[in-house]
Structures are given as C-alpha cells and as structure tokens.
Chains A and B, each alone.
Chain A
Amino acid sequence: MRRVAVPPRHNWQARLLEHGFDFHTLTTDDGHPDPYWIEDACYEFSVGQIDELESATQELHDLCLDAVGEIIDRGDYESFGLNQSEANLIERSWSLGERGLYGRMDLSYDGKRPPKLLEYNADTPTSLLESSVAQWFWLEDRSKEGRGEQGFDQFNSIHEALIERWRTVLGKPGGWIHFACHQDSPEDFGTTEYLRDTCIQAGWKTETLDMSEIGFDGTQFIDRADRVIDRMFKLYPWEWLFAEEFGAHLGGSRTLWLEPPWKRLLADKAILPWLWQRHPGHPNLLPASFDRSAINDEVVFKPCLEREGQGVLMLPTGTAPLDSPRGIYQASQRLPTFDGRHALIGTWVIGDVACGLGMREDQHAITRNTSRFVPHRFR
C-alpha cells in the first residue's frame, strides 16, 4: 500500500461534472475553493491487500448482522439510548426481514497489519458517487490515455451491485419509490441523486423531495402531490427521524424505509463495545468500552451518534473519563500516514456483500467532512 504521485487528467473537472460529481470542490467558510476530490496522487494496493480488505469487511459485516440479531433477541436497547417505541420499530423491521441497501466501514489499515474497524456507517453513508463512479472513470480515462495504467484494477463493483440490490430489496420493478434528504447539503443531495439514478436503472419510478416536504395526512406519510409514500429512501439519520415530530407516526405508517430501522443499531457507536465484548481479540476489531478504565492506553472518545468526526477526541494514557453524553472509548489506532496525510479506508457493503473501496485523507489524525477523496488502484 502506497501513495503514488500521478498527473491529473487535463480535463478532470469536466470529466467529474459529466458524471454528476459537482461537489468535487467545496468552499471554505471564508469563501475559498477547497478541493474535496484530488487526483494528483492515488493509493496503490497489491492484490493480496485488496483480498484482505475484502474478506475483513465481509466478516465484519457478518458479525454486525449477528450482533443486531442478538441485541434484538436480548432486548438490550439501553446502551443504544432507545425508547420502547423506537425499539418496537427496530424489532418489527428486523423480524419482517427488511433488507438494507448499503453501508460503509471505516477501517484503519497500513497494508501490513490487519485492518481494524473504526466504525460502521450503516445508516447514512456518503462519499458514494466518488467511490462508485468518479474513481472508476479516473482509472478508465488514465488507461485510455496510455498513462501506464494498464494492468491496474480497482476494488469497485459498487454501481452494478446497487442496481442489483434495488431489485432484491424492492422486488418486481415498476412501482414508485421516494428519495428524501436535506437537499441544501450538496453532498447529501448528490449522494441521494446518485442512488436514485441506480434505482431508476433498476426499473423503478422515483420522486425526490426535501425531508421538510414530507407530509402526514393523519394516517400515512405523503409527498408534495399528496401521494402516499409507500417506499422511502432517506439520507437522514434514524435518530433524527425518531426524535422529530413525525417520529410519532413512524410505527403506524405503512412506509417501507431504506435504510430499515434496524440499521439504527449499527450506526450507533455502542455497537463497537458490543462487538468487542462478543468477540474479544478479533483481529479486525479494536478494544472498545463504555468504561474509560477498561482500556489503559491512549483511547479515542466517540459520541455514539455523531458523524464526520464530530466530537471525536483523542485521550492520552491515564486521562480521566469524559463527563459527556452517550459515548464510547475505543483503543487508539492512529491512521497510517503517507506523504504526511492520514489515510482512511472506507470499504463499501452493498446489500450483504463487500464490493468497493474509497480512500480519504486528511492532514489531521481525525477524518472529518473536509477530508479529501483520493482514487485508488491495485494490481
């Protein structure tokens, strides 16, 4: 595994726009362009390393599904901060066999030691379009340009897997499904639009709306045109849905939600101590606990429900526990650095199959929503 300097495509911005990736450059708070996608470098892996990442992701996902089943069997919801009505919805979605669409695992991996799970973004993962489409065409373009890319491949069958997964989740095509997110966020809107596109390619009719445009007619959730929402993909965290005013209607509505409510358990960092307790010493897990004193060394404090590195703190050895709302302590596994950048691996699970990888890097040790996406290749 290494970071390799490569010349960017001469028309890379135009190429990204052609594929709908219009948030490749963001804007800083003071109005300056801030590149999110960079292609003057890439990460290069060996075949064996990709195999290792693939098998670790697959195994971790399987462990996670087992964990969800066990948590529900035991009714062990306290550590997840769930009330009874939320737990009921989760139980119902699990017992009905409602299927998940996608998820992204964040892994720490240096190419030498086994990959370690930092967290599982199983409910509202982003960086999907760049992983699935943008970096694939980067590889293809470079190959066509004869830039020495021949013989390289990419761990990436995300796009095809998504189309296939829609067919599995929704069944016979032809019906309607709604897609909602907070549309003022370019990244969320872009991710949702990409998923909607894969759903269209799977044969479904779609409608898009902002979360705030969802209505309730007294019995069912409705869209802008007052059509009942039978199926809804939402890029919006379950804990927010539960907490907001319409959350009270979730149990009584007939809407099929994607991701399904049981994904709320996996998106909660409380799953990390749960996994470690169940599989202590597993090579792809890090020690994790609700109790600071259970881990002697440097730890990372993670709020249970924050995203994009919000609230994450590194606590040196001997640090007292934080007086903070629900959070967990995870043994510190600092991200490997390449050319001074901290590299984070995101492996994609579509349905129940590991099938892709996206790299993000940051000057800081904690990956945030301002980190940069860098394409990858292997051979």
Chain B
Amino acid sequence: MANQSRRPKRLEGSVPPRSAEFGRRLEKQKRSDSIWLAVLGAAVATPLILMAGRDMQRNLYQTREDCVTDYSENECPREPVYHYGSNRLDDRAVRRYHGPWFEAGSTQRTSTDPGPGRLQEPSARGSFAPDRTSYRPPVSREYGVRGGFGRSGAVRAGRSSFGG
C-alpha cells in the first residue's frame, strides 16, 4: 500500500489540476432585472443583518413588451419564466415575462428599488402615457424572499474563513 504512489499512475503529471474555469473570479453580473444586487451594493453602509429575508415580489406579464413599458429594456429579461419561476418546460407550463424584484409594500421607484412598475404606481397614473396602445398590465405577481442565508457569515466577516 504505502510503497505505491498515492497518485494513480494514469494521472501523474498528465492531467492539469484545473479546468479552464478554475479560479474564475466571481462574476457578480449586475442583474438588470433584479434589485437584489443593487441592494447588496448599498450594503457597504448597511449591515446585511438588516436586509435578511426581505419580502420581495415581481410582476408577471404576458409579453416582454408589457414589462418594458412598466420598466425598461434592461430590467426585463428576454427569457420567459415557466411554471412559477422554474425553467422546467412541460406541457402545463405557462409562459410569463417577469419584471424586476421589488420590495413588497413599496409604491415608489427609488434608486435601489424599481418599484411595482411605472403604470402601477398610483402617483404615475394619468401622467404617463405608454407608447404602446396594446399595453396589458401584469397578469399576476410572484412572491419571494432573498437574503435569508448568509447572515452568520456576514456577522463574522472579520475572520478569514468559516471553514474548519
């Protein structure tokens, strides 16, 4: 046992220990369709603990154009969602286009919260005329929560590792 190499011979020195993706830095893609990372960005001055588990919601539209009318090109993903947020296609799936997550209960568009949509904000009604006459309001809303994990890690962020 011990007089044999601890590495299988077939792999010794011949296989790179990493794939092309190894060490890829975190691509914190700023999701244009979500406020979440924007909220994270604001966390520099805001302890994560205060943001843990925020109730979020987002509008579901029949078409992407409807979403863009309420928000913007960047805030409305081109890919639809199926069956309540899962990408699993099946015969029963209903295709919907979702807007960005916004904080439940908010009625105003802020720098960190896209709000419920231009035509859904009471203050905007009557003062904003969509270019499209075929605009249809959201057919439903999805509810979710983000930030419900990670609090302990953030609190102990001064330590170099949480592993053992």
B interface residues, tally (CB under 8 Å): 54
Known contacts being A54-B1, A200-B19, A224-B36, is A215 close to B144, with CB within 8 Å?
yes
Query: Is B86's CB within 8 Å of the partner chain A?
Result: yes
Query: Is B78's CB within 8 Å of the partner chain A?
Result: no
Q: Which residues of B contact A125 (CB under 8 A)?
A: 163-164
> Contact: A212 with B40, CB < 8 Å?
yes
Whose C-beta in chain B lies nearest to the C-beta of A183? B26
> What is the CB-to-nearest-CB distance from B154 to chain A, in angstroms, rounded to a whole number?
7
Known contacts being A51-B2, A188-B162, A217-B84, is A136 close to B7, with CB within 8 Å?
yes
> Contact: A246 with B17, CB < 8 Å?
no
> Contact: A211 with B150, CB < 8 Å?
yes
Candidates A191, A201, A213, A241; contact of B163 at CB < 8 Å: A191
Whose C-beta in chain A lies nearest to the C-beta of B88? A228
Counting chain A residues whose Cβ lies within 8 A of the other chain, the interface size class is 35 or more
Q: Which residues of A contact B144 (CB under 8 A)?
A: 215-218, 222
Q: Which residues of A contact B2 (CB under 8 A)?
A: 47-48, 50-51, 54, 378
Query: Is A94's CB within 8 Å of the partner chain B?
Result: no
User: How many angstroms from the CA of A186 to the CA of B26 in the assembled complex?
Assistant: 11
> Contact: A156 with B152, CB < 8 Å?
no
Query: How many A-B pairs fall under 8 Å by CB?
Result: 203
Query: Is B130's CB within 8 Å of the partner chain A?
Result: no
Query: Is A339's CB within 8 Å of the partner chain B?
Result: no
Candidates A133, A182, A246; contact of B148 at CB < 8 Å: A246
Interface residues in B108-164 by Cβ distance below 8 A to A read: 142-154, 157, 159-164
Chain B residues near A (Cβ < 8 Å):
1-3, 5-8, 11, 13, 17-19, 21-24, 26, 29, 31, 34, 36-37, 40, 48, 52-53, 56, 81, 84-88, 98, 142-154, 157, 159-164
10 interchain pairs, CB-CB under 8 A: A20-B22, A20-B23, A121-B164, A154-B7, A160-B7, A160-B8, A181-B162, A183-B26, A215-B56, A236-B150
Given contacts A126-B164, A212-B147, A213-B36, list 20 more A-B pairs with CB under 8 A: A133-B17, A159-B17, A160-B7, A182-B162, A189-B26, A191-B163, A194-B18, A197-B18, A197-B21, A210-B26, A213-B40, A213-B146, A214-B148, A217-B144, A218-B142, A219-B84, A222-B85, A224-B29, A224-B31, A267-B164
